[in-house]
Amino acid sequence: MKGSSKSRRARARERSSAAAGRVAAAAPDPNAQVSSGDAGNTRSTLMELLKRAGERDVASLAGQLGISGVAVRQHLAALERDGKVAQRSVRRPVGRPAKLYRLTEAADRVFPQASAKVALDLLARLQKLMGPEAIEKLLQARLRDLLKRYQERLKGAKSWAKKIKILAEIRDSEGYLCDPESAPGSQAKSGLRLVEHHCPLADLARQHPEVCRYELELFRRVLGEPGLRRVDHIGSGGHACVYELPGKAE
């Protein structure tokens, strides 16, 4: 009987040890480095935590994410380089100042936005109340405002290349992922053209194509080139909106 009892106790210890091993293997290693494939998911979760909490220090973020403080700092540093996270130091009664991290306005673009739907709803209401000409008047007013602002930025730019470069910088800052690019075969003036890889107004433009007409008119006026043409168009199924001016190199 004693031998049998010892045998049962031994088997129980073995089962307990095996279970503990499985739990340890399944638990995340807080000191493990996050692979590049998981980095994006971890940063998205980190940003969501900051969105909900407002500000957090490294220790609290590490505890919620289940990774080390070193790994959290690496992710925060990457987000800071992208302009999505900022930090500030806060004095404490004892010890070194604490660093608190928060999201910047640029990080808002990562989260779902309802602005396009709201804009469409407002335009639909405007059109219903005041007729189709109301939208035209609204777009004309927007054209005037943008033209004034863009012309101020381009003041002093003489060459086509310089104008295209500045206009690309303006549009890129507005979310159009805009670049001045070389035109195939140098068919465009100075061999350059303006390429917008993204359209923040895409949903709006699908409902109101006149938005795109006013964009082209804006570029023609601000560049002083009525012959400017759009050779590709996101709204027509193109990969990008591409603008160029036929002509020889300067």
Q: Report yes or no: 243 and 163 within 8 Å, Cβ to Cβ.
A: no
Q: Where in the chain do CATH 3.30.1380 domains reside?
A: 115-244
pTM: 0.59
List all residues 6 or more positions away from 4 whose beta carbon is below 8 Å from its beta carbon. Answer: none
User: What is the reported pLDDT for 41?
Assistant: 86
CATH 3.30.930.10 fits 31-110, yes or no: no
User: What is the reported pLDDT for 76?
Assistant: 95
Strands (E), 85-129: 85-90, 98-103
**In which residue ranges of the chain is pLDDT below 70?**
1-39, 113, 184-190, 247-250
User: What is the reported pLDDT for 21?
Assistant: 41
Residue whose tokens read 């100075």: 190
Strand pairing class (192-196; 229-232): unpaired
**Cα 136 to Cα 126, 208, 241, distances in angstroms:** 11, 10, 22
Task: Report the candidate in 5, 11, 89, 77 with the shortest Cα–Cα distance to residue 39.
Answer: 77
Task: Report the candidate in 114, 137, 215, 140 with the shortest Cα–Cα distance to residue 129.
Answer: 137
115-244: which CATH architecture? 2-Layer Sandwich (3.30)
pLDDT tens figures, 80-111: 999 999 999 998 888 888 899 999 988 887 87
Q: Where in the chain do CATH 1.10.10.10 domains reside?
A: 31-110
Q: Report yes or no: 179 and 166 within 8 Å, Cβ to Cβ.
A: no
**Cα 79 to Cα 11, 58, 76, 118, 176, distances in angstroms:** 51, 14, 5, 29, 21
Q: How far is CA 98 from the centre of its chain?
A: 29
User: What is the reported pLDDT for 221?
Assistant: 96
Q: Report yes or no: 67 and 29 within 8 Å, Cβ to Cβ.
A: no
pLDDT tens figures, 53-79: 888 999 999 999 999 999 999 999 999
